[in-house]
Amino acid sequence: MLHRGVFLCFLLGMLIILPLVLLAPQPVLAAGDSYVNRYLQAREPVALELDAEGNTRLFSAQDLSVGKVLFEQNCMNCHVGGATLPDPMISLSLADLQGATPPRSNINGLVSYLREPMTYDGSEETFWCRQVPESWMPQAEVENLAAFVIRAAQKAPGWGVDNFES
């Protein structure tokens, strides 16, 4: 009989405490994921070049984390680690993004490329990279994707390099 009373008290206690624990507010990962914090050094918002005129915009760790997820879902089949599998001579390194015509090393330039992919020299449309229309990815999302790629090109070790030992 004593065991039954202890068991009922325990069960009643669990019925009261468990919902409180499960429904308690969880900490928000406002700072984004660990890769973005560690390798992209984005614990605080980072200013990225918006256009060729040098205008900048701040992107939070959360923005870059959203961009990372979009990159993983939509680009990683061809761009593992910033490489470009269909054309290994041109990567997503900062130098290659800057060397494209027009340059793709700022948010607007890379977004324009994603909306209408062109060859590296800008002379014609390319079929290697799929077009990202507004109906598929809204402007804010494609800007976060571009911000992730550019910040990775700036900071991530091994991103788009020919030799991973460098």
The predicted structure's pLDDT at residue 161: 83
Neighbours of 89 (CB within 10 A): 8
The predicted structure's pLDDT at residue 30: 45
The predicted structure's pLDDT at residue 28: 40
pLDDT bracket for residue 59 (50, 70, 90): very high
Amino acid at 55: N
CA-closest candidate to residue 149, choices 37, 72, 52: 72
pLDDT bracket for residue 127 (50, 70, 90): confident
pLDDT bracket for residue 147 (50, 70, 90): very high
43-54 b/e (C-beta count within 10 Å ≥ 16 → b): eeebebbbeeee
Residue 163 CA, chain-centre distance (Å), reads 23
DSSP 3-state percent helix, strand, coil across the chain (nearest 5): 45, 5, 50
In a domain? residue 79 = yes
CA pair distance 103, 33, nearest whole angstrom: 29
In a domain? residue 58 = yes
In a domain? residue 116 = yes
pLDDT bracket for residue 5 (50, 70, 90): low
Q: The domain that contains 104 carries what CATH number?
A: 1.10.760.10
The predicted structure's pLDDT at residue 2: 54
CA pair distance 83, 159, nearest whole angstrom: 7
The predicted structure's pLDDT at residue 10: 52
Contact 92, 84 (CB under 8 A): yes
In a domain? residue 115 = yes
In a domain? residue 142 = yes
pLDDT at 21 over 50: no
Contact 5, 24 (CB under 8 A): no
In a domain? residue 123 = yes
In a domain? residue 22 = no
**Residue 45: domain span:** 37-155
Which residue(s) pair with 56 in the sheet?
49
Query: Across 2-154, where does the E strand assignment appear?
Result: 46-49, 56-59
Q: Which residue has the higher pLDDT, 28 or 85?
A: 85
pLDDT at 135 over 90: yes
In a domain? residue 150 = yes
Q: For 148-159, what is each residue's pLDDT tens digit?
A: 999 999 999 999
The predicted structure's pLDDT at residue 120: 96
Contact 148, 70 (CB under 8 A): yes
Q: For 69-121, what is each residue's pLDDT tens digit?
A: 999 999 999 999 999 998 999 999 999 999 999 999 999 999 999 999 999 99
Residue 165 phi, psi (nearest 5): -85, -10
pLDDT at 1 over 90: no
Number of domains in the chain: 1
